[in-house]
Structures are given as C-alpha cells and as structure tokens.
Amino acid sequence: MSGERGSLTISRFVQQSRVHRVRRRLASGKSRFHFYAWRGRGAPKFWEDDRRVPTDPEFFVAFAEAVRRPVPAKYMVPQMVDDCLSSTAMPKSPRSQADLRKWGLRFADHFKDAPAVIFEERGSRGEMNAWRALWKHSPKQHDMAGTHAVRILNWAVQEGKLAEHHCHKLHRLYEVDRSEIVWSQADREAFDAVAPEWVRRILCAACETGLRPADLIKLTPAHVEHTPRGRRLRVRTNKRKRLAHIPITPAMAEVIDTTPSGRLLILTNASGNALTPHRASEGVRQWRDKAGLSDELRLYDARGTAATRLLNAGLSLAEIANHMGWSVRYAANVIEHYARVSLDETDAVLVKLAQAKWGAS
C-alpha cells in the first residue's frame, strides 16, 4: 500500500475506527500528531507522526499490537497531582500549601484526560504554555501556574513517576523591581497621623528591623538580648531558618518598652490577640489608603527603610544583605534610593553608604 491510495485508506481507517488522533503544537510552532488506540483514559499511544494522515503501512501493525496487548492502568495527570499533594514533599507553610493545592487542582482539571507520560514528550512544553496563557491577562498568575505545575512535575521525576519532563525554565511575564519603593519619613509621619496604635507599632517594627510579616508577628520579649552597647533582637527567620541579630534602634526600643506587662507578643491586633501575616499586612494597607499614600506601598517595602536604619546602626553592607536575603548591590541600590527620597537624611546616609561601599570593595 503506497501513495495516494494508501493515504486515503489510512484516513478512512482513522475516521471509521476507534483510533483517537491528538494534535500537539510544538515549541517551534509546528504540529505533531499522536495516535491512541481509542479515546479515553488509559488508551495506549501507538504512533506519532508529523502528518495528519500517516502513510506508513507500519501504522496498521502498531495499532494491531496496541489493541491486542494487555494495557496496564495508565498513570493519569490527576492521579499524579493527588499523589504529590498528599506526599511529604508538600511545603510547610500553610500559605504555600494552599497555593500549591489551588494551582495543582487547576492543572489536574485541565489535563484530566491526559496520561502523565505526555510530559516526557517535548511537545508538552507547548501544552503547558497554552494552559498558562489562560492567565495572560495577569502576569503574576500566569507565572504562578507554571511554577506550581513544574513543582509537581519535578516531584514526579524525583519519585520515579516520570523519567523526565520538558517544562524547565518556562518564560515569565511578571517582572517587578521594588528596590525604589520605600517608606520615607514623610510617608511614616502621614501614616502615624491617622493609624491606630496597634497598626503604627507594626509598621514601626517593620521599618526598624526589616523582618518579614511572618517573623514580626512572632516577636516576643524573649527575643531581646543585652549587648555591651545596648540591646539587639535575636530571631531565627521563618523563611530561611537563619539567625538574625538586629540592633534595636531607639524607635524599636520604644515599641518594645511600651508593650503591656505580661503580654507574650510584642505586636498584636487591637484586642491584644495574635496576628497573622495577612492581617498585619492588611491592617497596614487599610490605613495606608486612609492616609492617602501610594497604593504601591506595602508592609514588605518597609525592608528598604530598615536597610537604611541598619546601615546607620553600624552594620556593613554585607551584613545587611545577608540579613535581608539580598545581594550587596541590591542592598546598596535600595539604601541609595531611600536617601534620595528622604531629604532629611540624604547627606548622612550617602556618606555612610559611600564608606560602606568602599569597605565592601
């Protein structure tokens, strides 16, 4: 069987039989066709071709073998996702767990009829990008979809569920540089003029220590240590599990010293109860809006202000960068920008920054 007659015969066979043909778009933009013995879960793939209608006589032979050979239960994408979400590889943070579960279930629903082994094929990268494109209107969600799906695929490879996958280093849409977003002294004064005390204490502690919200809400008087020159906070950070030793500035000292006697936590809500990272950030956001400040300012951006405070407290650029989890260059850029927007501190900060850069070189 050859030529046009053979092509028509195979085309008629595909149309009339239970063969299921799937077109997959490759990263190059070309298409490749995958042929399964039947439509539905567990169907074995028996042929791949660049042509919609194969002309190779071996096509029939492969189909016959596929339907004759006992087919083991296929490992489908939803099962792979379920296995990952119920494994010990789940992140420890409740927020990270929730994010992985949300995007994992979306991933499973989209590929619910696909065996997991499709991700061992190069064309699966295009399938992944087509799925992520459902959120192209939101670059951050677009990137998160890929990040969490790839995390599941990495787990599957590590556990031997897949031999490999081709979705590493997916292109990203979301790009942000927040090094120039800092709480200036004027911003803090405007915020303090309207915010209640419990929220003012949160922002002050963030600006003076540079700790993330998850670490701020756990601060207790037990974290305070006395040093030959004053006091410092000794904190094991939640994200990197590193010990941070942070000088206590006069403003932070006031927050600590005005904590009601007998209270276990330094920062609480208005009722004196424990905060969550989200509630702390949300409280600052709400009163930021009431103060009429830029909606780009977040509690997390207080870390830029804190970097300047730590430089003034005598820490080196390397120490600040290590404490913040930044590069030395990034830390220098943040501090330099802060100096530009905080006119009352510009000269003194820039002099110290120049000295710190000289010492780091």
* Same domain assignment for residues 282 and 196: yes
Residue-level pLDDT at 217: 95
* CA atoms within 13 Å, Cβ hemisphere of 156: 29
Q: Is the pLDDT of residue 179 over 70?
A: no
Q: Is the pLDDT of residue 312 over 80?
A: no
Is residue 246 in some structural domain? yes
Instruction: Give the list of residues 6+ apart from residue 58 with CB closer than 8 angstroms, or none.
Output: none
Confidence of residue 71 (pLDDT cuts 50, 70, 90): very low
342 domain residue, yes or no: no
Q: Tell me, yes or no, whether 343 lies in a domain.
A: no
User: Across the chain, what does the average pLDDT equal?
Assistant: 83
Q: How confident is the model at residue 197 (pLDDT cuts 50, 70, 90)?
A: very high
Q: What confidence tier does 347 reach under pLDDT thresholds 50, 70, 90?
A: low
* 94 and 153 fall within a common domain: yes
Same domain, 198 and 241: yes
Q: pLDDT category, 87, cuts 50, 70, 90?
A: very high
10 pLDDT band (50/70/90 cuts)? low
Q: Which residues of 137-162 are buried (b: 16+ CB within 10 A; e: fewer)?
A: eeeeebbbbbebbbbbbbbbeeeebb
- Could you tell me the pLDDT band of residue 7, with boundaries at 50, 70 and 90? low
Residue 311: per-residue pLDDT = 77
Residue 342 has pLDDT above 70, yes or no: no
User: Are 89 and 38 contained in the same domain?
Assistant: no
Q: Are residues 44 and 61 in the same domain?
A: yes
Q: What is the 3-state secondary structure (H, E, C) of the chain?
A: CCHHHHHHHHHHHHHHCCCEEEEEECCCCCEEEEEECCCCCCCCEEEEECCCCCCCCHHHHHHHHHHHCCCCCCCEHHHHHHHHHCCCCCCCCHHHHHHHHHHHHHHHHHCCCCEHHHHHCCCHHHHHHHHHHHHCCCHHHHHHHHHHHHHHHHHHHHCCCCCCCCCCCCCCCCCCCCCCCCCCHHHHHHHHHHCCHHHHHHHHHHHHHCCCHHHHCCCCHHHEEEECCEEEEEEECCCCCCEEEEECCHHHHHHHHCCCCCCCCCCCCCCCCCCCHHHHHHHHHHHHHHCCCCCCCCHHHHHHHHHHHHHHCCCCHHHHHHHHCCCHHHHHHHHHHHHHHCCCCHHHHHHHHHHHHHHHC
Do the domain assignments include residue 231? yes
Is residue 140 situated within a structural domain?
yes
- Are residue 54 and residue 104 in the same domain, yes or no? no
Label residue 339 by pLDDT band (50, 70, 90): low
Residue that finishes a domain, picked among 310, 325, 343: 310
Query: How high is the pLDDT of residue 9?
Result: 57
Residues 180 and 183: their CA atoms lie apart, in Å, by 10
User: Is 56 domain-assigned?
Assistant: yes
pLDDT tens, position by position, 108-143: 999 998 888 889 888 899 999 999 999 999 999 999
Mean pLDDT value across residues 318-325: 76
Q: What is the pLDDT of residue 155?
A: 94
| 51 & 129 share domain | no
Q: Is the pLDDT of residue 55 over 70?
A: yes
Identify which has the larger pLDDT, 10 or 100.
100
> CATH number, domain at 273?
1.10.443.10
Dump pLDDT digits (tens) for 245-270: 888 888 899 999 999 988 999 999 99
Convert the pLDDT of each residue in 351-360 to its tens digit. Answer: 666 776 666 5
Residues 252 and 234 occupy one common structural domain: yes
Q: What is the pTM of this model?
A: 0.58
Length of the chain: 361
For the segment 62-88, the average pLDDT, to the nearest whole number, is 79
- Cα Rg, the chain, nearest whole Å: 29
Residue 252 lies in a domain: yes
Q: What confidence tier does 12 reach under pLDDT thresholds 50, 70, 90?
A: low
Which of 158, 173, 197 is where one domain is finished? 158
267 and 292 co-located in one domain: yes
Mean pLDDT across 226-235: 87
Domain range for residue 7? 3-68
CA 320 to mean position of chain CA atoms: 23
In total, how many domains does the chain have?
Answer: 3
pLDDT range class, residue 177, cuts 50, 70, 90: low
pLDDT given at position 181: 77
Question: 265 and 154: one domain?
Answer: no
2 pLDDT exceeds 80? no
Domain termination site, one of 123, 158, 193: 158
- Same structural domain, 133 and 196: no
Is residue 352 one of the residues assigned to a domain? no
Is the pLDDT assigned to residue 101 strictly greater than 60? yes
Question: For a pLDDT cut of 70, what percent of the chain falls above it?
Answer: 83
Instruction: Kindly state whether residues 34 and 116 are assigned to the same domain.
Output: no
- Per-residue pLDDT at 70: 45
